[in-house]
């Protein structure tokens, strides 16, 4: 599996859409050159921070493919248990 750099721009309050818990942005120059950002098939891609799984990609911004949404790992675990 290849790793690429992203930036977390915003954590969205949990009372909003849980599939859009984080606003993310692709910052990796190699990935941007290959795909121009988030593309179909990247949904579910894990997001690691300091070697720990913190979430997964869920959506791309239609008007800006460099940006998208992700779900927090803690939200995924909560949804599995309830």
pLDDT of residue 19: 79
In this prediction, residue 3 carries a pLDDT of: 93
Residue 72 counted as domain residue:
yes
Q: What is the domain range of residue 39?
A: 6-81
Give the global pTM.
0.88
Whether 56 maps to a domain, the answer reads: yes
Q: Is residue 48 part of a domain?
A: yes
Q: How far is residue 37's CA from residue 76's CA, in Å, rounded to a whole number?
A: 24
What average pLDDT does the segment 47-70 reach?
Answer: 96
Does residue 28 fall inside a structural domain? yes
Three-class SS of 19-45:
HHCEEEEECCHHHHHHHCCCCCCCCCC
pLDDT of residue 82: 85
- For the segment 12-56, what is each residue's pLDDT rounded down to a tens digit? 876 777 778 999 999 999 999 999 999 999 999 999 999 999 999
User: Would 1 be classed as within a structural domain?
Assistant: no
Count: domains in the chain: 1
């Amino acid at each position: 599996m290849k790793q690429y750099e992203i930036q977390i721009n915003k954590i969205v309050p949990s009372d909003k859409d849980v599939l859009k818990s984080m606003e993310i942005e692709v910052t990796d120059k190699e990935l941007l050159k290959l795909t121009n950002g988030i593309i179909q098939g990247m949904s579910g891609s894990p997001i690691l921070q300091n070697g720990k799984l913190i979430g997964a990609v869920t959506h791309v911004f239609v008007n800006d493919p460099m940006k998208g949404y992700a779900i927090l790992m803690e939200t995924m675990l909560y949804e599995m248990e309830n």
